[in-house]
Each structure stands twice: as structure tokens, then as C-alpha cells.
Amino acid sequence: MKHTIALLALLALTQCTTTVQTKETQAAATPPQVIDSLKAGNERFASGRPQHRNLLKQAKLTVSGQHPLAAVVSCIDSRTSSELVFDQGIGDIFNARVAGNVINDDILGSLEFACAAAGSKAIVVVGHTSCGAVKGAAKGVQLEHLTGLLEKIQPAIKHTKTGGDDYVDRVAVENVKQSVATIRAKSTTLRKLEKEGKIAIIGAMYHLDTGRVEFLH
């Protein structure tokens, strides 16, 4: 508990309703501390104890600049907003949302901007249980532009043993792992930052029934 309190103070994620990230708080944070702060935020969310924020004040305070601590790639699903799930305020995280939390060149470019240009210290790819995109990919759904997107989930389907009530969720976990691997494989910039210890790249699964995020290691 003492460690958590000290960490939140360091990252300026306190009970103050108008606190925002600054260049100084971003620079002082380490990748492991940022991951821990997201874990602490999810614990607040899942326990029904989110921080009380003056979002309008935060919006005004970040007009001249932003210094998010992390970049989150999550699904477009309406139940999985990263700001809510991780109990974050305006200016705390970048959030790239796309069905099935798949990785493409535009997402990679956005992540490179977040970390190499804007200073974020972590990338978290968040899948979730009962994912509609994963279900669609498993069923071979065909629909104009959606077809191409779902094809990006096929490697995870091929890597996952079929059968069982948890099949979709197991594919979703594998899809997160594949997305993390794709980030490392296709972005020399991000791979180098991770190797140098300047950022962390990690996957996670959000459980709709509990509100809790499980980090994958």
C-alpha cells in the first residue's frame, strides 16, 4: 500500500481533481511505474472507487500541450474504454481503438508518435473477453472493409486449439500476443526504445464480467 501511494504521488495521479501530466512527471516516470499506475487505476475502477476529476479543468490545463504516460491499443467495443477501465483523466494516456485491437501501419505510426515523439513510457495492447471481432473472424464473416480487418486475427485463430466454451477468449488472448509481437517485429523505432529500456510493450486482457485487467507476461 505504501509503495502504491508513493508511486501515485510520483506520477501525479492523486485525488486532486485537476491534476494533469506534465513534462516533468512524464520524464520522471519509468516504464514499470507506468504499468503499475495503470494496474492501480484498474483496481480503483474494478473496486468502484474511481478518482473524482474535474475533466473540464483538465481539458483547459492541457490546451497548450500533453504528456501522456502510456499509449493503449484497445478494441472499439463500447464496454472497454481505456480511460474508464484504467481510471485515467484527460492527458494521461493515448488511446488507439480499432476492432479486435489489431495492428496496422496507421496504428504503428500512432504508437511511434506517442513514444518516440511525445515521450510516453509504455504501450499496452488490451484485448477483452467475448470480443465480437474475434467471434466474427472465427466465423469467417465477410463484409466490405471488415473482411480485411478480420484477416489480421486469423494468425491467432490458427494458433489456438478449437473447442470449449472459452475458445473465443483464448483466441483473444493469442490475438493480443500476436499484436504485441507485430509491434516489435514491424517497428524498428519501438523495438529499439524497448531494448534500451525507455518503454515497455505489454499485452493485457480486460474481463467484462469483473472489470479487471489481466496483464500478460
Residue 109's pLDDT is what?
A: 98
Low-confidence ranges of the chain (pLDDT < 70): 1-17
Fold that domain 2-216 belongs to in CATH: Beta-carbonic Anhydrase; Chain A (3.40.1050)
Eight-state DSSP code of residue 104: -
**Enclosing H/E stretch for 160:** none
Residue 57's pLDDT is what?
A: 95
Task: Assign residue 13 a region (left: φ > 0; alpha: ψ between -120 and 50; beta: otherwise).
Answer: beta
> What are the start-end ranges of the E strands in 12-92?
70-74
Residue 7's pLDDT is what?
A: 56
Residue 217's pLDDT is what?
A: 80
C-alpha cell at 185: 517485429
Eight-state DSSP code of residue 211: T
Beta pairing class for 122-128 and 200-207: parallel
Domain boundaries in the chain? 2-216
Q: How far apart are CA 161 and CA 156, in angstroms?
A: 10
Residue 4's pLDDT is what?
A: 52
Residue 93's pLDDT is what?
A: 98
